[in-house]
Amino acid sequence: MNNIDDEEPHYLLDSNIVSEIIKPNPNFNVIKKIAEHNSDCAICAPVWQEMLFGMYRLPEGLNKKYLENFLMDDVHENFKIKHFTEKAATIQAKIRANLEKLGKPTQKEDSMIASIALANHMVLVTRNTKHFEPIQEVSELQIENWFE
């Protein structure tokens, strides 16, 4: 691994990992891994957007308020948010172009999340490993599935 500042998080969590925290019966392994690596985890702006979008779509009520409190008090306070930078944009453009040449176009959001992980030398943690497998074919993206 490259010389990485110990202060920088090593794991980039996808929304399906973060949302596990709030479930009534969360996956034990996911919760254990988040607890083990808490200070070494971050989310990215597209994941933050996905979670907020899900919350804003809910009808007014206790569930929405509970989710809003979780996002603001737990997620936002505990995880750094990695941004889509110029470096990530360049990586994403290359990934999308290479996948298109192979006849394997990818979702813009998935390639954006992957490019943020790559730009920051992070391991992407997701349950949707299949979504990111084509990206791994054309990049050095590292993925872990904490559900396993």
The pTM (predicted TM-score) of the whole model is: 0.91
Q: Which residues of the chain have pLDDT under 70?
A: 1-6
Q: What is the pLDDT of residue 1?
A: 40
pLDDT tens column, 121-137: 999 999 999 999 999 99
Q: What is the pLDDT of residue 106?
A: 87
Residues 6+ positions from 108 with CB-CB distance below 8 Å: 96
Q: What is the pLDDT of residue 8?
A: 82
Q: What is the pLDDT of residue 6?
A: 54
